[in-house]
Structure 1
């Protein structure tokens, strides 16, 4: 059953077209992802669906009696309320019923008149049945479960909304909306400000949510986990793809390739017919004119294939280390940090070697960002020491973007730290990050989060650092920009230490994971998938009453050695499989090239097109396999040299 339908939605602000003829349906219980670059109009579409913005044309149909719940990126809350009072307002009807039931209980205990007593008892019975059916006996535990799932602890329930950070307020608004259980849930970037534990909780909640969900997100891992349909907003229009994010990417690439092929073939046929028409007209005899007119009618009757529209502009990024560091990049020994009454981490030790991509994981507030700030000299440790290796040149990305001078223009901000470069070189670098024309003269203070992020990444690209310390580098970036950043980091010849909640990003890049648990740090080789597999096989109790068990140093070393050997075997297997896949693809490509030269194939356009399509798919597959092989070979070399 269709619960929501958008039909030909169009909207412009002045001469700026935002949306044009947007049409799609949402089925009951369906989970749908909305994707598109920043500024494509995704949030605007949600406001139209929610009724807070009117379109120029088109209409939104919502099935009768269906309630829409809308989580905006900046949802308003009552700042005078506590966390508990604010979320409990979602159950104000149950609280009123509960209060009425208590009043009835008192009245019943005092009432002497039998007729009046009978009336009160009936009212109480009806109210109690309704209260029970509406979840009255579970709502307290439901509120606690959702608040805890989104990262709030019971000792925070009495905090005033006014004292919360922006991220905590966003989580509060999400908790309140989930408790209201609307029939159609509109979520605009719900994963912002959530740590990985909260992200996993939200994924499971939404997968089991009985109603319909429309979600805007740049979190590809989240979209893959939750959604079964994807709507892309691009070039003001929309296209619907069946499947999650990964399936959408595959299908879009295939559709564009097929459309481009059909367009080229049709253009070639049109050019052939037009050449024939021109020739016949030059001969200018009656039969030639008739033949030319016949071909012209054939062209006019053709259903023209549109050329695929240009894709939105992407940033361009290439990271190059100016000098090569030594094999030992960073050594951390017994490092501790605590604030009055709040220890973050204690006596943590680890080493980083050249070309490792290490990610720090752990709940919000555990000290990940603080550790990075200690390493770049912005915060002082409580005890312990750290040391950088030979020829280490580092660059730091601050998730809060506080390193940008709000008084500078974009051009000044980048040029100030790269005054050895020419004006043209700086402008070219900024153009790679989509700052062109007058954009470079905008003050930093007026830029959006995404634009500030691109300025910071421009500075990192020009730094020629060989050790990158990155704190949430994908925040504020749309999916296209995240993929460009991932590609640049994969090809980077230096070392990376990063904090991120983007599991897709972590999985693609990490060679090792350091997890904060309590005040300790645990070391896992491999990517995010390997980390999850290890955690699933070695489940550790995280209940409030569980005591943290500290292993002896020798036992930790034994386990780490065992894990490293297992990881090395797995790495070698993946390397062999990748080499075999490359060999098979290259062999099949040679076979296709030979087949395409056969005389019987050259005259068979259908067969030729099929072979050409297969050839293109194999070439695309090899484009993915070659860098994967290089990455795996590099990881194997790093593991072998480190053991």
Structure 2
């Protein structure tokens, strides 16, 4: 075990964030921490690295082990170049190399008496330098930077001139080249394109140390991790396996816990009803049976109802009108910035009902294409044509369609003046904005909150052609799944840019890969694209032929109606028998009362023959009654 978290708790004010969180990490293990936005994942990482104190609990790092941490946001005002900043991660090797050079230069002035000791120090240092791959550290730095999407031309850019996303990539590169025993990564894929994410996956899978990742990229987690720590309702649960295995196990565990709770509640209510019925018979034995059941009921360890995070958006996308079959035709589109060609002479069509993912490396022009289609940017050449009755709904990853100075209420009300305040509040609540949240200014929202607000406006647009630029950025996994479900039910057409491969796989019916300034078309989802990319892409770039795939239909299982009918008939039979037994019990109880009255008759008391007959009859009735009680309890307990 290299790292252990034991009963970690943290609150901000009176609000608990995490409570009694416990898990451990083995050497070379790859672990994911998952949960909704605000669950406390980043807080937990900060506690582990010592940036925040825990209110309770302990973090134990194995002796002599090192931690490396990448936060979500980087405040880097370093005047050094990108290359120099990442190279600093190799400071120990740089100093070692400098010391070796100094020893080599000083050999000429060493006396014969000191030479043996001098050479021993030199060879020892040289051996350590070689063992730590000292001769290749500069090429490693270059390789990591290129893997994370930087070109050699970028290496000389100064860090204080970079965007937030570029600074995060520089910080990640520097962390990776330091080779700590445990790497802690908070949303490392947010600013990477698909190829860089794939490179990082390979790096982390082969990494000799342990890795702890907070990420909403399910495809990334599926490829890397072997254990998942779930933070939910402030508490933790640990699951073996990758993300998909965790999701199945966690869903099953929640269903089982809920099923156990409802089954117990039904049993408690049932037992209470049986006890009430037994008491209503008003006989000594039935009352004793009722009291016995009450004692058993009191011993039950009552389960608490499982709670779930109230985090789910409620999203339905409904087009106001149906468009024509031809939704979009792009012909000969070209665009360049500052002499750099993004794409040239690209053409494609989109038909009604398609969900098309536009993918490619950062900087190839994907977002630019969407902006051209939304008339935010002019093309250098070419044209596009929208089909009949096409109404566009646009989701902009930069949220330029939002007005920073407005409140959330104003943002919706100004665009949709016919909506009542109650309706607007309900819509915002469906996207997790409740109570006074609706009076916040857009400028005060986080990136995730602005994303949810943009999705709320998109839902209201009633568009039949959705153009979405990175719609899953800043969304937690639960919200992504809701968006996926909404898009898969959507009766309109979708064109979207995304780096989220799991999202693409779940929603896309076609992939357009923007590569080498051209479009390569794949009829299928992301898995199909991966399968065919290596063999078909080069040929397609030369010939322009379309790759196609025929998807197999998945037949749904048929319901066994006969089995259901038999079960219903069995239940009706039991219900009828219970009712008949209750009638018989009532009749026999009356018969016992009559017999007891006869025992009180003075004439009977002096007639031994009559007494004997009454006693025999009383025993017979009591035996029947006892048998009926037992049968009734058995049937009533089913």
Contact 1:227–1:243, Cα closer than 8 Å, also in 2: yes
Closer, same or farther: CA 112–431 of 1 in aligned 2, 3 Å: closer
Closer, same or farther: CA 336–602 of 1 in aligned 2, 3 Å: farther
Contact 1:223–1:245, Cα closer than 8 Å, also in 2: yes
Closer, same or farther: CA 340–264 of 1 in aligned 2, 3 Å: closer
The equivalent of 2:218 in structure 1 is 220
CA distance in structure 1 between the aligned counterparts of 2:562 and 2:308, rounded to whole angstroms: 33
The equivalent of 2:198 in structure 1 is 200
CA distance in structure 2 between the aligned counterparts of 1:468 and 1:294, rounded to whole angstroms: 65
**Structure 2 stretches lacking a partner, 5+ long:** 575-638
Deviation at 1:353, TM superposition (A): 1.4
The DSSP-based 3-state class of the residue aligned with 1:157 is: helix
CA distance in structure 1 between the aligned counterparts of 2:467 and 2:94, rounded to whole angstroms: 50
Deviation at 1:421, TM superposition (A): 2.3
Closer, same or farther: CA 425–277 of 1 in aligned 2, 3 Å: same
Deviation at 1:401, TM superposition (A): 0.8
Q: 1:470-500 deviations in whole A, cap 9, x for unaligned?
A: 1000001111111111111111111111100
**Structure 1 stretches lacking a partner, 5+ long:** 541-547, 604-643
Structure 1 segment 551-570 matched on structure 2, within 5 A: 551=542, 555-556=543-544, 559-560=545-546, 563-564=547-548, 567=549, 570=550
CA distance in structure 2 between the aligned counterparts of 1:220 and 1:266, rounded to whole angstroms: 35
Closer, same or farther: CA 366–415 of 1 in aligned 2, 3 Å: same
Deviation at 1:22, TM superposition (A): 0.9
The DSSP-based 3-state class of the residue aligned with 2:134 is: coil
The question of 1:383 aligning with 2:381 is answered yes
The equivalent of 1:86 in structure 2 is 85
The equivalent of 2:16 in structure 1 is 17
The DSSP-based 3-state class of the residue aligned with 2:156 is: coil
The equivalent of 1:307 in structure 2 is 305
The equivalent of 2:179 in structure 1 is 181
The question of 1:210 aligning with 2:208 is answered yes
- How many pairs align? 574
Structure 1 segment 509-528 matched on structure 2, within 5 A: 509-528=507-526
The DSSP-based 3-state class of the residue aligned with 1:137 is: helix
Deviation at 1:537, TM superposition (A): 3.0
CA distance in structure 2 between the aligned counterparts of 1:526 and 1:112, rounded to whole angstroms: 71
Q: 1:455 aligns with which of 449, 453, 456?
A: 453
Contact 1:33–1:229, Cα closer than 8 Å, also in 2: yes
TM-score by length of 2: 0.86
Closer, same or farther: CA 333–283 of 1 in aligned 2, 3 Å: closer
Contact 2:232–2:308, Cα closer than 8 Å, also in 1: no
The question of 1:586 aligning with 2:558 is answered yes
The equivalent of 1:99 in structure 2 is 98
Structure 1 segment 563-642 matched on structure 2, within 5 A: 563-564=547-548, 567=549, 570-571=550-551, 574-575=552-553, 578-579=554-555, 582=556, 585-587=557-559, 589-590=560-561, 592-594=563-565, 596-597=567-568, 599=570
Contact 2:74–2:164, Cα closer than 8 Å, also in 1: no
Deviation at 1:310, TM superposition (A): 3.0
The question of 1:143 aligning with 2:141 is answered yes
Contact 1:596–1:602, Cα closer than 8 Å, also in 2: no
The equivalent of 2:37 in structure 1 is 38
The DSSP-based 3-state class of the residue aligned with 1:415 is: helix
Closer, same or farther: CA 550–509 of 1 in aligned 2, 3 Å: closer
The equivalent of 2:127 in structure 1 is 129
Contact 1:196–1:501, Cα closer than 8 Å, also in 2: yes
Contact 2:391–2:464, Cα closer than 8 Å, also in 1: yes
Q: 1:386-435 deviations in whole A, cap 9, x for unaligned?
A: 12121111011110112211110001011111112222222222121122
Deviation at 1:278, TM superposition (A): 4.7
Q: 1:429-471 deviations in whole A, cap 9, x for unaligned?
A: 2121122221111111111111111111111111111111110
Deviation at 1:74, TM superposition (A): 1.4
The equivalent of 1:358 in structure 2 is 356
The equivalent of 1:445 in structure 2 is 443
Range moving further from structure 2, 398-407 or 110-119: 110-119
The equivalent of 2:462 in structure 1 is 464
TM-score by length of 1: 0.85
Deviation at 1:4, TM superposition (A): 1.5
Deviation at 1:361, TM superposition (A): 0.9
The question of 1:394 aligning with 2:392 is answered yes
CA distance in structure 2 between the aligned counterparts of 1:111 and 1:169, rounded to whole angstroms: 46
Closer, same or farther: CA 357–145 of 1 in aligned 2, 3 Å: same
The DSSP-based 3-state class of the residue aligned with 1:299 is: helix
Contact 1:335–1:384, Cα closer than 8 Å, also in 2: yes
CA distance in structure 2 between the aligned counterparts of 1:39 and 1:170, rounded to whole angstroms: 21
The DSSP-based 3-state class of the residue aligned with 1:332 is: strand
Closer, same or farther: CA 422–288 of 1 in aligned 2, 3 Å: same
Deviation at 1:502, TM superposition (A): 0.5
Contact 1:111–1:117, Cα closer than 8 Å, also in 2: no
The DSSP-based 3-state class of the residue aligned with 2:432 is: coil
Deviation at 1:59, TM superposition (A): 1.2
The question of 1:74 aligning with 2:73 is answered yes
Structure 1 segment 209-248 matched on structure 2, within 5 A: 209-248=207-246
Contact 2:317–2:459, Cα closer than 8 Å, also in 1: yes
The equivalent of 2:368 in structure 1 is 370
Contact 1:235–1:312, Cα closer than 8 Å, also in 2: no
Q: 2:434 aligns with which of 433, 436, 440?
A: 436
CA distance in structure 1 between the aligned counterparts of 2:75 and 2:25, rounded to whole angstroms: 27
Q: 2:338 aligns with which of 319, 337, 340?
A: 340
CA distance in structure 1 between the aligned counterparts of 2:227 and 2:348, rounded to whole angstroms: 43
CA distance in structure 2 between the aligned counterparts of 1:14 and 1:510, rounded to whole angstroms: 44
The question of 1:260 aligning with 2:258 is answered yes
Closer, same or farther: CA 429–153 of 1 in aligned 2, 3 Å: same
Deviation at 1:116, TM superposition (A): 3.2
Deviation at 1:360, TM superposition (A): 1.1
The DSSP-based 3-state class of the residue aligned with 1:523 is: strand
Give the superposed CA RMSD: 2.2
